[in-house]
Structure 1
């Protein structure tokens, strides 16, 4: 079964959906504030540091045990995330071979807009692609690749069903060299040569065809026997090619000797079924923002924290009443960007946003004459040591 895609056209959502989004006034606004941060104790900080030491081969735990903590400064990093689960659709023309059961299934319908069909995702906020056939778009047409014959001539043997034997190179001899007793005989007087009318010199040989079953190459032992009626002198059956038995030709490997191959477009039926294929793309668009923090964002992305606000609606409004104005501005910007990106390209199925406060403890330490800082962040108390030393230094 072969599918051939001709055109792919993304389909914009219907105008009724765009108007409903623009006129939608239902959303959410947060008026919640973050509670006081629970401070981290010195024991928690030291345990987190020792866990980080074990991850490094050349860091010695004995040196870290002598470290003195001068001050612990509690901070928080706000992590705002907005996710929009969108749906986009595209259509493409496809063809496939016709099966007998499909000849009776040609129902038609007046629905032409791909957005008129309801397609549900298997799970929300998970990227996925659904492929289905639009009902009523199936038509039966003659196959243009084989002109409705179901077969076409084999390209390798030019439709003859035979080709040069690759084991004896068309000579009929096991040695692969034409025997002088064959091509020097006055009744043969023909050396095995290529037939340029059948293809390249390396892939064809001149042959004689007597009926449908008697085919042999020129200058071969079988050619000698057909002319003289006796086997070639000085040549035994053990000298003949064991693959072609002295004929110099073999059955075409590609068409199995038939000279024709079944059409791959219609699978030999002579007809193809054309239909419109509908592709539905479910994708999650994600935007996130971190407030200023000395810990890199790539470490804070998966760090657990305390959830301040979380909401999931068909369409959410930005946060406007939080006491950190930077969060309000980013929430408004992300909501506008997601709405702008979906206009004319896809439709938003559902949105959700959340605000998480990640606890961060900045530790000021001293180790001998060395002073520095490191950070312990997240509810799971992960440790980050900026400008960590090389393997030749203790800290």
Structure 2
């Protein structure tokens, strides 16, 4: 059987023909980053970039006066009673039960020989901040309001927001009024379509059945491509182009500035030196007996606390928070807390050897570095 020459054999007239759009100046198979010329200059938002933000927009200078010194709490009964042996054993049992490879024999048969109590202070400073950034955004134009140039756009910190309660993080995106304009789609040059990436704009691709030869075994003409060696591209239905993914075929884009407002809680802890041996990181997830707490717009360091290291940490962290967060964000509220966190080191013996573990915090969390009865688990 001879290989046919010519004819489209049911394919469209563009089948196998290079798409005239493909390779046109400025065209590419993938959407490109919008050029800077696509965006107008808006007073107050000159540094705004497309999709990548324009950096933090500095807040106005605060008008609230600095607070006065904060007097340290008066020492009262700050000692926390040691936990009982039953509570120590119960806490370890709960911890072991949460571990698939830990056996409970040391909990049941181990003998508690002593319990040491270590109470340590934790100072915590929290600053609840609001920051504002801007970025150029775009969406297919379908008749939305176009208001750029009608009047000056409001400055970033003049735009009203819906803030959360203090120390509750939140993010809000607001379209800045009087920044919306219509531009031709940069990805398809306003054509609404772009070259098909599957067939490189040809409308067809090499036949998978005959690998482009047009024939199968015994010189039989390939029935899949009817001997052409190419088959219609299913991705674009033989057109060589597809609807532009950026403008969704609308040819134009609405471009505007988005204001991104973030409320976040910035937190730093200081744990007074303690000799229990428990890692300080363990204390991050537990609470203690609250000795002092103060919250206001702006805090002054604590003075005169019995443990001098706590007062020094308060002064250092308050200063650092002002330096780190007041430049690019607005501090809405600060809160400082002093807690007394209970730590109990439980020493015990099992099978003639000595071991220990820690029980700490109001939650009675357990930390074990060397549990004596573990096994290897495997998942089949």
After TM superposition, the score normalised by the length of structure 1 is 0.67
Q: Pick from 164, 167, 183 the counterpart of residue 141 of structure 1.
A: 183
Q: 1:145 Cα shift?
A: 3.3
Q: 1:298 Cα shift?
A: 2.6
> Normalized per residue, which structure has more helix?
1
For the structure 1 residues 308 and 248, does the alpha-carbon distance in structure 2 shift closer, same or farther, using more than 3 Å as the test?
A: same
Gaps of 5+ in 2: 1-30, 35-49, 97-101, 375-380
Aligned to 2:172: 130
Which one has the largest radius of gyration?
1
For the structure 1 residues 362 and 160, does the alpha-carbon distance in structure 2 shift closer, same or farther, using more than 3 Å as the test?
A: closer
Question: C-alpha offsets along residues 247-275 of structure 1, whole Å, 9 cap, x if unaligned?
Answer: 43322233212233223332222212221
Aligned to 1:60: 106
Would you say the 8 A contact 2:69–2:303 is kept in 1? no
Question: C-alpha offsets along residues 39-94 of structure 1, whole Å, 9 cap, x if unaligned?
Answer: 336xx1354046426725375356534x544xx66542111111112222221222
Q: Pick from 243, 251, 269 the counterpart of residue 232 of structure 2.
A: 251
SS of alignment partner, residue 300 of structure 1: helix
Q: Pick from 76, 97, 115 the counterpart of residue 157 of structure 2.
A: 115
1:11 aligns to 2:56 (yes or no): yes
Aligned to 1:186: none
Aligned to 1:272: 253
Would you say the 8 A contact 1:48–1:383 is kept in 2? no
Aligned to 1:211: none
1:48 aligns to 2:88 (yes or no): yes
Aligned to 2:128: 85
SS of alignment partner, residue 274 of structure 1: strand
Aligned to 1:340: 323
Aligned to 2:209: 167
Q: Distance in 1 between matches of 2:197 and 2:366?
A: 68
Would you say the 8 A contact 2:73–2:292 is kept in 1? no
Q: Distance in 1 between matches of 2:139 and 2:326?
A: 35
SS of alignment partner, residue 8 of structure 1: coil
For the structure 1 residues 247 and 384, does the alpha-carbon distance in structure 2 shift closer, same or farther, using more than 3 Å as the test?
A: closer
Q: 1:124 Cα shift?
A: 3.8
Q: Distance in 2 between matches of 1:384 and 1:170?
A: 67
Any residues of structure 2 matched to 1:296-307 within 5 Å, and which? 296-307=279-290
Q: Distance in 2 between matches of 1:337 and 1:381?
A: 33
Aligned to 1:235: none
Would you say the 8 A contact 2:206–2:212 is kept in 1? yes
Aligned to 2:139: 96
Q: Distance in 1 between matches of 2:332 and 2:117?
A: 40
For the structure 1 residues 78 and 167, does the alpha-carbon distance in structure 2 shift closer, same or farther, using more than 3 Å as the test?
A: same
Q: 1:143 Cα shift?
A: 2.5
Tell me how large the CA RMSD over aligned residues is. 3.6
Q: 1:153 Cα shift?
A: 4.5
Q: 1:114 Cα shift?
A: 1.6
